[in-house]
Amino acid sequence: MKRTAVYPGSFDPITKGHEDLIHRSLGFVDRVVVAVAVNVTKQPLFSLEERVALIRQAVPEPRVDVQAFEGLLVEFAQQVGASLIVRGLRAVSDFEYEFQMALMNRNLAPQLETVFLVPAFDLTYLSSSLVREVARFGGDVSALVHPAVQQALKRKFAP
């Protein structure tokens, strides 16, 4: 039987940290469904369509599927036949929120297991919000995001 993991997030935008986790996940599952949340509480910089398109460009892998989802993550995971939810754990500061979310998801769907992955050392302090901030003020984000994302950020913040 094929094992599918769902990798959910806002991806506003996808960073090399996210790419790293997707590739790591492919080491132990057959298929990764990158689940892009429609309802991000804060106003996102990139539209849902832009976020999905940028992930497809950054990770053009046949075993990676990119889909938008609305509502409960566990329901989406069940719809796509996933048995695992993958999340990245960077610093201690991530832990409380991630732990709460994992326990709530287990409460909602006990058969779904959350797996936390540790990113590559040099990507540990990377986040989409930092990338947005650096790009907003014209800083170089080429080491942090795929070239397609870099171009998209340039266009967003063009004077």
Give me the catalytic one of 10, 16, 18, 146.
18
Query: Measured from the CB atom, is 59 or 138 closer to ligand PNS?
Result: 59
CB of 43 to ligand PNS, least distance (A): 13
CB of 158 to ligand PNS, least distance (A): 26
CB of 151 to ligand PNS, least distance (A): 22
> Is 18 marked active-site?
yes
CB of 12 to ligand PNS, least distance (A): 8
Angle (CA) 28 31 36, round 5°: 115
Query: Measured from the CB atom, is 61 or 98 closer to ligand PNS?
Result: 98
Q: Which residues here bind ligand PNS, judged by CB under 6 A?
A: 8-10, 37, 72-73, 101, 104-105
Give me the catalytic one of 56, 90, 106, 156.
90
By Cβ distance, which residue is nearest to ligand PNS? 9
Query: Measured from the CB atom, is 39 or 158 closer to ligand PNS?
Result: 39
> Is 42 marked active-site?
yes
- List all residues 6 or more positions away from 75 whose beta carbon is below 8 Å from its beta carbon: none
What φ, ψ does residue 74 adopt, rounded to 5°? -65, -35
- The answer to whether the beta carbons of residues 153 and 131 sit under 8 Å apart is yes
Q: Mind telling me the catalytic residues?
A: 18, 42, 90, 128
